Each structure stands twice: as structure tokens, then as C-alpha cells.
Structure 1
Amino acid sequence: MGLSLSTWVHSRATDSSSSSSSAFQLLAVPTSSRLMVILNSSPVSPDSRSHWSSVHHSPHFILSACKQEAKRSPVELSSDGVRAKVGVKSGLHVWEVLWNPNHRGSHAVIGVSSKDCPLQASGYNVLVGKDLQSWGWELKTNGLWHGGNSLGLYPDFRRQSSTRILTDAKVAETPLPIPEIILLVLDADAGTLGFVVDGSFLGVAFKDLPPGVELFPVVSSVRGGANIRLRYLNGTTCDPPTLKALCGLSIRQVLGERRQNQTDKLPLPSSLQHYLLSSH
């Protein structure tokens, strides 16, 4: 029953996004039920998991008092990074990164790293993904980087070649403008890293991440004044979602965004109505 319900949830998500004109929703790939439940749950209250590290950052990054914002100083010929205070070794976790596209410049990179990733280098380059201890997505070019090597574009346009926006090879190679809000999805159990843009999961960007190694969200920038905000949204263990969570997800998807606050009109017990409201 759980498998059948999970499949139905996937089909409902596909149906609900099919009418969107967003290029990213046309490039979306099916998500696991674990990730779908997280993305459709209320964010947890901000805590230390939403903080940039006050120790592990380039001296050219200045943190706000709340530690959720990191601002790069206007320094020339320097690539600078900052990583999250808290990393993970297991579970599926989602962070939100806010980074104004007008404040990125070249070599704006988001990804994950171990505690040994360098966070400052001379010149302008892709810092996250420059070594074997980090994996980065360069937002201006859509390129993936690891070990100092370019691993191709993300999203993977070839994988989505059947979509109607990718009939021209030149269009498929054109970088897509990445909006301000990016969700970083780290599955430490599966060893994968992916991203959600415009509400669409774009698939696995990196796989075979080292098991049992603590990994941290990390960004790097070369633009003076770049202000990057971090927030931990939610996470879960390797256990499959509960039937209660899957049913709640299915009901909310049927209701749609505009009717999320109308659960009191459903023929459901008051306790279930309260759960639907409190979990979204």
C-alpha cells in the first residue's frame, strides 16, 4: 500500500506542475517520498543548523549578528568561501540559500564540503569544487565542479531531452538564470547532492559522496557586497515516511496551494484537520 500511495503522490505532483511555464519545472525529475514530505512540511524553527560558521570562513566574509547572513567584503583578486556551522553524516536534509542574482558576479558557487575544504584562494576561480573535499554548482554557468574538474552542466539537459523546451541543441547548452532562492538537498545516506529551484527538484547533481564523512553546506564568491543567507528547513532519517505523513501530503497536494487553509471544510476528524494545518 505504501508503494502504491507513493506512486500516486508522484503522479499528483507531476500533474500539478504540468501547467507551469517555469523552465525548471519542465526539467524536474521525480522525487523520493522522503524528500516530498520534507518539501511539503513546515520549516523547523531556525537554530544553529541555520548558522554560518563564525570560525570556518574566509576573512573577507563578515557574518551578521544572527549568523544567518554572510557578506563578502569588496576585495579584489580573491575567491572566498563560508561554510555552515553544522554538518551532517546521515539522513536527508534540506537547506534554503538566498542569494540575489544581481549580487553574484562570476564564480558564484553553492554546494557541500568536508571540514578540510579551503575557504580562501588568490585570484578569481571556482573555490567550492576546486579540490577533492568539496562539490560545487557554479550558478552563472550551471557547471558542476569537483576535484578541480568541470563535470558538465546541471540540470542535465540530455536527460531531459524529451521536454518541449529542449528541442534545439544550442538552447540546451544555454545556462539558465538561477533565481534567488535555492534549496540544497543533501542525502547523506544515499551519498547524493541535488538542488530544488522554483519548487522543482532538478535531480542528483553529485553522487558517491563519501559515507560517514561530515558534510557542510558551503558557498564561495568573488563579488564584493554579495550577501548570502542560510536557513535549515527540515530533515529526516533513513526510515521511510509514515503512512500518516504520506496521507497528509496527498491531501495537501489535492487541495493545492490556494486551498491549504480550507481543511476545515473537509469531511475529516478535527484532529486530522489540525494535523494538516500544523504540518504545512
Structure 2
Amino acid sequence: MGLILSAWLSGRAADSVPSSSAVFLPLAVPTSSRLALTLSSPAVSPADRRSRWSSHQRSPHFRLSPCKQQATRSPAELSSDGVRAEVGVESGLHVWEVTWSPEHRGSHAVIGISRRDCPLQDSGYKVLVGGDSLSWGWELKSNQLWHGGKTLVCYPRERRRLRSQAAEAFRSKSPNSLHSHETEAPLLIPERVQLVLDADAGTLGFAVGGSFLGVAFRDLPSGVELFPAVSSVRGGARIELRYLNGTTRNPPALMALCGLSILQNVGQQRQNQVDQLPLPPLLHHYLLSCF
């Protein structure tokens, strides 16, 4: 029964995507029940060690706040600098949130995942996270994915499909138009971005504004520690890290799947009316605790 319900929830996700800003809502992709539960679960305590930047795994141009949750890049000319999280993971599904103001990014502002040996300082202005084979990064200003020192594709990929559909519709209405395509400006990524690492499946994706934008990288190495990481060339850039939640590779509990199904059908606009549902008080309490 649990497997049937899990498949049913995946089908529901294709019909209704998470709430988001007007820009990112059309870019959201269906999520698995495992990820949907993780994203909807309450965040763990901010004091969790997984919310800290590492005092040792950082460029000397990055200084940390006393709680180690904020890293600030000192002004430095012709230098690219990075910092890794204090704690990495080898298994499970995990979600972190990176807070980085667009006004303090500059060029080469990258967030992603790295192994322990990824370089965290280099001369000149360049991408560090994704600049070698030991890291995978998303450059926020250009929306480009980086790995192995090369740009791969523009992310989110769903954007290209939607744009192609719009262009095809335009051409069908205007067959005499000479403009078959236009240069598309990068998306402005807001200050809060969630990293979604599934170490069991070997995938990394990102979520913005409540919308999961899909898998960015596949075939990440298994059985090795992977760390959230950022790199910057902007003096004064302040970057915060927060571990939100995670889960093991075990299938979600049937009770949790049922709760998720109810909340998805109720919708965010009516979640404050859960206590009016024809359910026992114990279930009311459980559903309210899911918010």
C-alpha cells in the first residue's frame, strides 16, 4: 500500500507544483515523495554542526562569524576564494540553505558541492567550485553549471524547454517572422537557495522560492564525503549556511506519506483550516506539527 501511495503522490506532483514566485513556478519539476517530505519537514536547530562553515577548509580571505554560520570574504585583488562546510555527508538525502545577497555576489559567485581536496584559493578571478574534477557548482550570475573546469549547460534546464515551446508557438502564429530565437538574459537568483544533495542517488539539484528546479548534476561519487561549498571574488560578500533537514535511503513512513497527501490536497492557502477537517484530534495534531 505504501508503494502504491508513493507512486500516486508522484503523479499528483506532476499536476500541482510547490508554490513559488511567478518567475520560478513554471520552472518547478515534480519531486519524489522522499524529497517532498524532506522539503516540507520543519528545519532542524540552527545550532546543528552541519550549519557551520569550516575553520580549516577555507581560503585565508574568508573570515567566519563566531557561530561559523556566516563567512565573509575580505577585499583581495586578483584572488578567487572558497569555503567548505564543516561537516560532509556520504549517504542520505540532505538539504542546506545558502543565503547570499545578489548585491554582494559580483562575478564568479558559485554554490555547490565539493570533495575534501577541492582547491579553495587561487590567483585571478575564476570559478573554484566546479573549477576542477572534485567539485560541482552553479554560477549564480550566468546560471551556468560548472564541473571539471568547464561550463556544462544553463540551469535550470526546464527553462530551455519552456522557452522552446513559447518560441514554437510564436513562430506558428507568425510564420513570416525572421526572429527564430532571441538571446535570453540569465535569471536573477534570489538571496536564498537550497542545495538538494541525494548522496545515495549521486545527484545534486537546487530549489528556489519553494520550487525544486530539477537535477543539476548526476553520477556524483559514492562512498566519499561531499561538502556544501561556495566560491567568490567579491570583497565583502557575506554567505550564510543553514542545514535544513535530511533523511536516510529508507522508504518514507506510510503515516508521513498520508500527511503529505492531505496537506498537498488542502493547499497552502487553507492549511490554517486543518483543524476543521473531519479527522480525529490526534491526526489534527500530527498535521499541524508538519507545518
Q: Same fold (TM over 0.5)?
A: yes
Secondary structure of 1:170's match? coil
Within 2, Cα distance between the matches of 1:67 and 1:103? 19
Within 2, Cα distance between the matches of 1:177 and 1:166? 25
Q: Which residue of 2 aligns with 1:117?
A: 118
1:12–1:254 contact (8 Å) kept in structure 2:
no
1:96–1:233 contact (8 Å) kept in structure 2:
yes
Give a deviation string over 1:155-183, Cα, whole Å, max 9, x none. Answer: 11344456558967425x43111111100
Q: Which residue of 1 aligns with 2:238?
A: 227
> Alpha-carbon deviation of 1:122?
0.7
Pairing of 1:58-77 with structure 2 (within 5 A): 58-77=59-78
1:31 counterpart = 2:34: no
Q: Which residue of 1 aligns with 2:270?
A: 259
Secondary structure of 1:231's match? strand
Secondary structure of 1:90's match? coil
Match of 1:210 among 193, 216, 221: 221
Pairing of 1:1-280 with structure 2 (within 5 A): 1-17=1-17, 22-46=22-46, 47-156=48-157, 157-161=159-163, 164=166, 169-170=181-182, 173-280=184-291
Quick one: structure 1 residues 110 and 21, their matched pair in 2 at CA, closer, same or farther if it must change by over 3 Å? closer
Larger Rg: 2
Q: Which residue of 1 aligns with 2:172?
A: none
Quick one: structure 1 residues 23 and 241, their matched pair in 2 at CA, closer, same or farther if it must change by over 3 Å? same
Give a deviation string over 1:49-68, Cα, whole Å, max 9, x none. Answer: 11111111111111111111
Q: TM-score, normalised by structure 2?
A: 0.89
> Alpha-carbon deviation of 1:22?
2.1
Within 1, Cα distance between the matches of 2:129 and 2:113? 8
2:20–2:209 contact (8 Å) kept in structure 1:
no
Letter in 2 for 1:81: G
Letter in 2 for 1:170: E
Secondary structure of 1:186's match? strand
Q: Which runs of 4+ in 1 moved over 6 A?
A: 18-21, 165-168
Q: How many pairs does the alignment contain?
A: 279
> Alpha-carbon deviation of 1:201?
1.1
Quick one: structure 1 residues 69 and 20, their matched pair in 2 at CA, closer, same or farther if it must change by over 3 Å? closer
Give a deviation string over 1:112-161, Cα, whole Å, max 9, x none. Answer: 00010111111110111111110000000001111101111111134445
Within 2, Cα distance between the matches of 1:81 and 1:18? 32
Quick one: structure 1 residues 31 and 16, their matched pair in 2 at CA, closer, same or farther if it must change by over 3 Å? closer
CA RMSD in angstroms comes to 2.1
Quick one: structure 1 residues 11 and 169, their matched pair in 2 at CA, closer, same or farther if it must change by over 3 Å? farther
Q: TM-score, normalised by structure 1?
A: 0.93
> Alpha-carbon deviation of 1:19?
8.8
Within 2, Cα distance between the matches of 1:43 and 1:56? 25
> Alpha-carbon deviation of 1:14?
4.6
Q: Which residue of 1 aligns with 2:174?
A: none
1:80–1:119 contact (8 Å) kept in structure 2:
yes
Quick one: structure 1 residues 241 and 230, their matched pair in 2 at CA, closer, same or farther if it must change by over 3 Å? same
Within 2, Cα distance between the matches of 1:197 and 1:64? 25
> Alpha-carbon deviation of 1:34?
0.6
Letter in 1 for 2:182: K
Q: Which consecutive residues of structure 1, in runs of 5 or more, have no partner in the other structure?
A: none
> Alpha-carbon deviation of 1:10?
3.8
Q: Percent identity?
A: 68
Q: Tell which deviates more after alignment, 54-63 or 15-24.
A: 15-24
